[in-house]
Amino acid sequence: MQTTDTVLMIEPIAFGYNAETAENNYFQVEQKGADIQSKALAEFKIFVEKLKSKGINVISIKDTLDPHTPDSIFPNNWVSFHKDGKVVLYPMFASNRRVERREDIIETIKDKGFEVAEIDDLSFSETQGHFLEGTGSMIFDHDNKIAYGSVSLRLDENLFRKFCADYDFAPVVFHSFQTVGEERLPIYHTNVMMCVADKFVVICLDCIDNEAERNNVSETIKKSGKEIIEISEAQMQQFAGNMLQVQNKNGEKFLVMSQTAYQSLDQNQVSNIEKYCEIIYSDLNTIEVNGGGSARCMLAEVFLPKK
């Protein structure tokens, strides 16, 4: 099943620009002087209400002040919840993001009626300098058991291939780049340049500079039976790749994105998406600018079986 009706979201209490992650997240810009936390919290709350109003189950858990975790609003990087009851904890690039992994969050999800059979902790790879940042770095086609991964400091190819072998996914490995100044630099997370939904894939193929890799990704998507909805690199910079398809308790599907992403799309792209599902968008500007992540990064899907 490609979509879930339950997502975990972490309510920020000390959100802000993270200099550690900004080393290789070229989407981040530090805003000075503004009350970043209160603006981010307001955006977060409106976003949660929009999801709930469509019948999507949101498990919202507050961050803690200590330790200080400026990026905790993006939980999909440190944890994933699988339909066989496994919870996976991931190795994180930034040391101040590693403390986002909280046992009490997993306990809360169990208390909400979900079954946790096993916790697979991969975080030990951090000590060797190898990282695999969850569904930020890996994009899963659950129905076809394919995982797409763009190699970067946050996706170690060997770790990715091992994960795919252990979890029975066919790995599709490639390299994606964005123009920063005069340079082509690696995109930090795969989920800013592609989104896999049940019947379509939103992707910036222009970011895959190697022709053979680009053709392989494109052919794999076509063979999986999904329509390719292409976005430009300029749209990718507006977080148009950072989307997630979810469903509500009635099985109705939605594609979730930010207002920035939505406004970057042309009418043809919007119509193509709306053939398949309704769009939900919300203003996440403060979170995007300072955090360098958008709607998809804020949602950790919960596929765990219910008790």
Nearest Cα neighbor of 56 from 96, 102, 5, 16 is 5
Please say if the pLDDT value at position 68 is more than 90. no
Q: What proportion of the chain, given as a percentage, has pLDDT over 70?
A: 94
Q: How does DSSP classify residue 75?
A: G
Nearest Cα neighbor of 93 from 48, 173, 159, 2 is 159
User: What average pLDDT does the segment 137-151 reach?
Assistant: 98
Please say if the pLDDT value at position 139 is more than 70. yes
User: What average pLDDT does the segment 187-201 reach?
Assistant: 97
Indicate if the alpha-carbon torsion angle 125, 162, 82, 5 is positive or negative: positive
Phi, psi dihedrals of residue 245, rounded to the nearest 5° = -90, 130
Count Cβ atoms below 10 Å from residue 218 Cβ, excluding itself: 16
Q: Residue 244, SS3?
A: strand
Q: Which residue shows structure tokens 């070229």?
A: 26
Indicate if the alpha-carbon torsion angle 238, 142, 137, 299 is positive or negative: positive
Q: How does DSSP classify residue 269?
A: H
Indicate if the alpha-carbon torsion angle 109, 116, 1, 264 is positive or negative: positive
Q: Which long-range contacts (CB under 8 A, 24 or more apart) does 66-71 make?
A: 67/96, 67/99, 68/14, 68/96, 69/14, 69/96, 69/97, 69/99, 69/100, 70/14, 70/15, 70/16, 70/17, 70/18, 70/96, 70/291, 71/18, 71/21, 71/96, 71/97, 71/100, 71/291, 71/293
Model confidence over 10-41: pLDDT tens digits? Answer: 999 988 755 555 556 544 456 665 688 889 99
| Residue 43 neighbours by CB under 8 Å, 6+ apart | 282, 283, 284, 285, 286, 287
User: What average pLDDT does the segment 204-216 reach?
Assistant: 98
Distance of alpha carbon 76 from alpha carbon 135, whole angstroms: 6
User: What average pLDDT does the segment 233-245 reach?
Assistant: 97
- Kindly report the CATH class assigned to 6-301: alpha beta
Q: What is the mean pLDDT of the chain?
A: 94
Distance of alpha carbon 159 from alpha carbon 153, whole angstroms: 12
* Residue 274 pLDDT level (bands cut at 50, 70, 90): very high
| Domain spans, the chain | 6-301
Distance of alpha carbon 122 from alpha carbon 185, whole angstroms: 27
Q: What is the pLDDT of residue 41?
A: 94
Q: What is the pLDDT of residue 35?
A: 87
